[in-house]
Structure 1
Amino acid sequence: MFEDIDTDRRPVVLIWEVTQACELACRHCRADAQPARHPEELSTAEGKALLEDAASFGEGQLVVLSGGDPLARDDLLELVSYGDDLGLRMTITPSGTRSLTPERVGDLADAGVRRMALSLDGATAESHDAFRGEASFADTVAAAEAAADEGVPLQINTTVCADTVGELPAIRDRVRELGAVLWSVFFLVPVGRGRVLDPISPERAEAVMEWLSEVASEERFGVKTTEAPFYRRVELQSDGEAAAPRRRAGITAGRGFAFVSHTGEVYPSGFLPESAGNVRERSVVDVYRNADLFESLRDPDGYRGKCGACEFRQVCGGSRSRAYAATGDPLESDPLCPYVPEGYDGPLPETIAEPTGTPGSAD
């Protein structure tokens, strides 16, 4: 379905951060989640209006309800059901807490949730809970099993940084064992509490991409990367198509992707917190299609540095969120990508150094 979407007109993925409230306080949390709900969260009525706007993007628009923990909202089932009735493909990324009981999973399935995404950042309780700084492994696995029992397709999200990269092969096994349909591998962007974590080096990232390409060819579940679109370059180069890439662009901030915060601000991505408008004042459809920020992000020819000169810019384009986090300019080059276009002699992004003694290997 993605190949048929005109990303100038609609996002492939629209995320609504329904709340920042969460029982957990994970070390890497993009949202910098808090224990209590924010008093200026979108109300039920405002949330329904947002979903109505989302439906006007076109048939089957994918909407992801995220947080914080969406379960912190007592109107969550009402919102899911309302979106489902509008023809939206409603999905959810709940936190792995004791509140995500099999009964809650069943209620979400009955309300119309089409997919559930759970975070797994270690293959064991010891590694997962140590990374997140919270005991959530057992609850996450129980929720994954409940999703299978309810027939809800499961997605596993994993953060890649210096602390987790060595766990990737073992996490892969867990993804298979849990029967997930998709493994979404998030490459760290230093925002929120994630600023205290160490990224992997560009060279290590390249090796992980090559390994993920092999995983995708060997496993029944799909593999995608988040904030690391140069995975598509690696795939193309491995297929011998370096000279004339033909695949369509991947999803990047503002180009096939939009994010609505808990207070209604519209960002190109949750990892690129630059507002282009607020849904209380302007339709999310109008912001996505016409805001200057979004339009600039959909023009890879306007990117700066080596990303702007790269022959893969149309199918990759680099992480606009990481460029923004590193330089304050979302059109600058992605510092995680090690590739330098042939003949390019301009400035290079500041090198990311991987901490000495990073454990394990994913290649």
Structure 2
Amino acid sequence: MTTIDHVPGSRPLRRARRDVAAAPFIVIWESTRACPLACLHCRAEAQPDRDPRELSTAEARELMGQVAAFGRPAPLFVITGGDPFERPDLFDLVRHGRELGLAPAVSPSATPALTRENLARLHEAGAAAISISVDAATAARHDEFRGYDGVFSRTLSAWRAAREAGLKVQINTTVTRGNLSQLPDVARLVRDHGAMLWSVFFLVPTGRGRALAALSPREAEDVLHFLYDLGTVIPVKTTEAHHFRRVAVQRLILAERGADHVAELGLGPLYRDLRRRARRAGLIKDRRVRRPPIDVNAGRGLVFVSHTGTVHPSGFLPISCGDVRKKPLTEIYRTAPLFNALRDPDRLSGRCGGCEFRTVCGGSRSRAYACTGDVFGEEPWCGYQPGSFPYQEELAAHVTP
């Protein structure tokens, strides 16, 4: 099998344009846990009603001021949930964030509130983008995953309406064993309908997601290489699959060497099947520049604020490191012991601790904690054996901090 041609001068990774020990690349705020859907993977185990402990409007405005206090360039600021539309002050908060110099993005659920009118109001208020979820390429499979009929149709309508309103659209897809075969078809939807980014989320067994079947490390590896191939046509990122950055470095080096990545890395039948179907659909092209994955991880460029104001390294890592009602987010992010420890790759254990890619990958700390109880434990969905990549001498330029 031939490799995709390497474009001279391309780079495998992007670095945040800031010292991530001083300021995050992205701040995610869980504005509420209220949501009328019953998604099978829901981290928040969303409830029908709002929690009375949620940050008030005044407290939410104060939080956004704390985010702006990190300085320029301002962190990406994402308002998620639950469903943010459950908050009647959503539009006012988006407008306030824009006045502070933020570019708020909103991650709504595909509920009856996700209307053309509300999307237009979001854009008018100053929202930069929205992210919506597509977890299968057919209504039956998607609606089953989301817990209600009609969600798939509403999602596609909102996707079109958001773009027409002038909003950028990110599509989120959760990968489980149940939808592996759907991935090329979902990718085709992303290409055909248009999106600034396809974010492919590797399940963390928290919340309702504990009941879903996990991928094996071999399956995860095959999917990551398939996603890398799609990057020639679709802008792709991964969420809680940090070893995608290892894959990007490996594939760049192998392409420069003219080596067959399938043979060199021992990729399996799932990869070959996904790649074959993607080729047939025109989802893989040669000699195209990819969007390199960015080197960000839990507590290292990423911070999550819950609906009650507690601060976490990730929304999937339920260890509180402070409370914005008691201490500014800037101080928590910069000084909390767990945040500082997560920025030290030498704290990692198991295979992650001995891996030559640990400075650019680090594995999912959320999945390690969910599966082993050890936030510094090895990544359960990664099968890479440290030292096994055949071209070790070329790594230094890409993995040196």
Q: TM-score, normalised by structure 2?
A: 0.82
CA distance in 1, matches of 2:179, 2:71: 38
SS at match of 1:240: helix
- Report deviation, 1:2: 5.1
- Letter matched to residue 92 of structure 2: E
CA contact (8 A) 2:245 2:293 kept: no
The answer to whether the 8 A contact 2:37-2:148 is kept is yes
Matches within 5 A, 1:176-325: 176-217=191-232, 219=233, 221-240=234-253, 250-325=295-370
Matched, 1:329 2:329: no
- Counterpart Cα distance in 2 of 1:61 and 1:231: 22
SS for the counterpart of 2:236 is: strand
Contact 2:203 2:214 in 1 (8 A): yes
Q: Which residue of 1 aligns with 2:24?
A: 11
8 Å Cα contact 1:248/1:314 also seen in 2? no
8 Å Cα contact 2:237-2:293 kept in structure 1: no
Offset at 1:342? 2.4
Q: Is the 8 A contact 1:2 1:12 kept in 2?
A: no
| Residues 1-363 of structure 1 mapped to structure 2, 5 A cutoff | 3-59=16-72, 60-135=74-149, 136-217=151-232, 219=233, 221-240=234-253, 250-342=295-387
- State the secondary structure of the residue aligned to 2:198: strand
- Structure 1 residue 133: deviation in Å? 2.0
Taking the aligned partners of 1:208 and 1:241, their CA distance within structure 2 comes to 18
State the shift of 1:139 in Å.
Answer: 1.1
Asked whether the equivalents of residues 202 and 240 of structure 2 are also in contact (C-alpha less than 8 Å), the reply is: yes
Query: What are the superposed Cα offsets for residues 77-118 of structure 1, whole Å, 9 maximum, x if unpaired?
Result: 010000000001200100011111000000000001101100
Report the Cα offset of residue 312 of structure 1: 0.3
Q: Aligned partner of 1:232: which letter? A: R
Distance 2:68 2:374 in 1: 31
Cα distance, 1:241 vs structure 2: 6.9
Deviation sequence 1:232-289 (CA, Å, 0-9, x none):
11111111179xxxx9972211111110000001010110010000000011111111
Report the 3-state secondary structure (helix = DSSP H, G, I; strand = E; otherwise coil) of the residue aligned with 2:36: coil
Gaps of 5+ in 2: 1-13, 256-291, 389-401
Give the letter for the 2:208 counterpart. Answer: R
TM-align CA RMSD: 1.5
CA distance in 1, matches of 2:80, 2:294: 25
Whether the aligned pair in 1 keeps the contact of 2:16 and 2:296 (CA below 8 Å) is no
Look up the match of 2:398.
none
Q: C-alpha separation between the residues in 2 aligned to 1:100 and 1:227?
A: 26
Cα deviation for residue 61 of structure 1 reads 2.0
Task: Answer with 300-309 or 126-135: which moved more.
Answer: 126-135
Aligned partner letter, 2:139:
A
Deviation of 1:126 after TM superposition, in Å, equals 1.1
1:316 alignment partner AA:
C
Q: Where does the alignment leave 5 or more consecutive residues of structure 1 unmatched?
A: 344-363
Q: Which runs of 4+ in 1 moved over 4 A?
A: none
Larger radius of gyration: 2
- Aligned partner letter, 2:155: T
Partners of 1:141 and 1:22 lie apart in 2 by 19
Q: Distance in 2 between matches of 1:285 and 1:241?
A: 41
1:214-247 deviations in Å (ceiling 9; x for gaps)? 0002x1x3100000010111111111179xxxx9
Q: Deviations over 1:132-154 (max 9, x none)?
A: 22221111111111111011110
Q: For residue 168 of structure 2, what is the amino acid of its counterpart?
A: P
